[in-house]
Amino acid sequence: MSEKKRVLVVDDELNIRRILEAAFDRHGWHAAVAANADEALGMLEAGSFDCVLTDVTMPGMNGYELQNQIHVRWPETPVVIMTAFGTIPQAVQAIRDGAFEFVTKPFDLEALKRVLSAAMDETVGAKAKRPAKFIPKRTTFIAESPAMREVFETLEQIADSRATVLVTGESGTGKEVVAKLIHELSPRGGEAFVAVSCAALPETLLESELFGYEKGAFTGAHGSKPGRFELADKGTLFLDEIGDIPPAIQVKLLRVLQEREFERLGATKPTRVDVRLVTATNRDLNRAVEDGTFRLDLLYRLQVVELHLPPLRERTEDIVPLAEHFLARSSKENGRTLRLIGSDALSLMMGYNWPGNVRELENTMERAVVLAPKDEEVLSARLLPRNLQRAA
């Protein structure tokens, strides 16, 4: 029996089938070809494949419908979709529906082979990787308002996929909390969660932080150092303030997302990683794309799932449960008893617009706890900061 990986190529264009079949055979895989989806399904029934690469537009059933059927009937078989650049939004939807990846036509053959290798590696890894033990979640996430319940439901749904997630929302709305929660609820929960703030570092430093470097890569590189991507291997990498990354790093990021590999600075050989990427921004990335400061193809890859966290003033149902949670936590830490919210404080808090969102509420509650008399149980209006009293 041959140990060769079996790849099924589905495309209605004879030329593409020929080119890919020859290229994959040369690469040491066994390639089979089908001219349409029905033929492909027949071949999948007849024998198993390690990966399917399919075109989208074909007579009869299209590539997305084929992907959906494969996902249901052979869930372990990864599907990579070939699409034209103009139809990326549909391809992104296919990833949400379970496709492994998409490549845009015309494609670079070497890159395509790397994507398929990654697809086949990952399914082997994914089966072995599911943790046997339950990993308790550590992050408290309060979500009472309909908007936040919806966020939480989506989050639970997508946690165990490898889809990238873009978390958007004003400062202090809980973007990092959401990123941690995705990690903890995923099969990667027992592995590393690595966070990088992209705005905090100048370009060259950011690049070496993310991708690492080899000895002698630049003046002062006396040894080699792994980057955050390597540190997050098998886990989750959280890139905060993604809207601030410079163009050169955007290109590198795009490549890691597509091919799961990159080079350390000064390295000649690529490094392979299996990282789930979650990013966050309080900027409007669509505007950044229009301005020409952010790549559209990268944005598509980053926002396979987008979670928007509304500002606190638009989800007032969360104010009391969050406040009570912060009061209880802070009282416990400080050996105090403050835990209830008085009606005068409540009306001020409900009427206030919380420009600093949940973080401001957290700080406000911590401040009240330390200012309150030792055995006070009820938060009264006079324990709230003056600016809040005036604004409300």
Ligand X SMILES: Nc1ncnc2c1ncn2[C@@H]1O[C@H](COP(=O)(O)OP(=O)(O)OP(=O)(O)O)[C@@H](O)[C@H]1O
Q: Does an H or E element contain 166, and which?
A: strand 165-168
Residue 138 beta carbon to Mg ion: minimum distance, rounded to whole angstroms: 17
Residue pair 10/54 in contact (Cβ under 8 Å)? The answer is yes
Please report, as ranges, the residues that interact with ligand X according to CB under 6 A: 140-143, 169, 171-177, 282, 358-359, 362
Query: Which of Mg ion, ligand X, none does 343 bind, CB closer than 5 to 8 A by kind?
Result: none
| Residue 146 Cα distances to 142, 306, 310, 316, angstroms | 12, 17, 11, 10
| DSSP for residue 248 | H
Residue 286 beta carbon to Mg ion: minimum distance, rounded to whole angstroms: 20
* Sign of the torsion formed by the C-alpha atoms of 244, 247, 249 and 251: positive
| Residue 285 Cα distances to 49, 90, 155, 254, 279, angstroms | 39, 19, 21, 16, 12
CA distance 173 to 1: 56
Residue 175 beta carbon to Mg ion: minimum distance, rounded to whole angstroms: 5
Query: Which of Mg ion, ligand X, none does 177 bind, CB closer than 5 to 8 A by kind?
Result: ligand X
Query: Which of Mg ion, ligand X, none does 212 bind, CB closer than 5 to 8 A by kind?
Result: none
| CB closer to ligand X out of 34 and 179 | 179
Query: Which of Mg ion, ligand X, none does 171 bind, CB closer than 5 to 8 A by kind?
Result: ligand X
Is 176 among the residues that bind Mg ion (CB under 5 A)? yes
Residue 391 beta carbon to ligand X: minimum distance, rounded to whole angstroms: 20
CA distance 221 to 198: 21
| CB closer to Mg ion out of 242 and 256 | 242
Q: Which residue is nearest to ligand X (CB)?
A: 174
Query: Which of ligand X, Mg ion, none does 329 bind, CB closer than 5 to 8 A by kind?
Result: none
Beta-carbon count within 10 A of 332 CB: 12
The DSSP string of 182-237 is HHHHSTTTTS-EEEEETTSS-HHHHHHHHHEE-TTSSTT--S-EE-HHHHTTTSEE
The window from 5-13, 162-170, 175-183, 312-320 that contacts Mg ion (CB under 5 A) reads: 175-183
Is 241 among the residues that bind Mg ion (CB under 5 A)? no
Q: What is the DSSP pairing of strand 212-213 with strand 225-226? A: antiparallel
Residue 309 beta carbon to ligand X: minimum distance, rounded to whole angstroms: 7
Query: Which of Mg ion, ligand X, none does 227 bind, CB closer than 5 to 8 A by kind?
Result: none
The window from 17-25, 56-64, 140-148, 176-184 that contacts Mg ion (CB under 5 A) reads: 176-184
Query: Which of Mg ion, ligand X, none does 189 bind, CB closer than 5 to 8 A by kind?
Result: none
The window from 32-40, 81-89, 171-179, 247-255 that contacts Mg ion (CB under 5 A) reads: 171-179
Residue 179 beta carbon to ligand X: minimum distance, rounded to whole angstroms: 8
Beta-carbon count within 10 A of 200 CB: 12
Q: How many residues bind Mg ion (CB under 5 A)?
A: 1
What count of residues does the chain have?
392
Residue pair 312/318 in contact (Cβ under 8 Å)? The answer is yes
| CB closer to ligand X out of 129 and 149 | 149
3-class secondary-structure state, position 28: coil
Beta-carbon count within 10 A of 64 CB: 21
Residue 62 beta carbon to Mg ion: minimum distance, rounded to whole angstroms: 40
| CB closer to ligand X out of 99 and 309 | 309
Residue 198 beta carbon to Mg ion: minimum distance, rounded to whole angstroms: 11
By the criterion CB under 5 A, which residues form the site for Mg ion?
Answer: 176
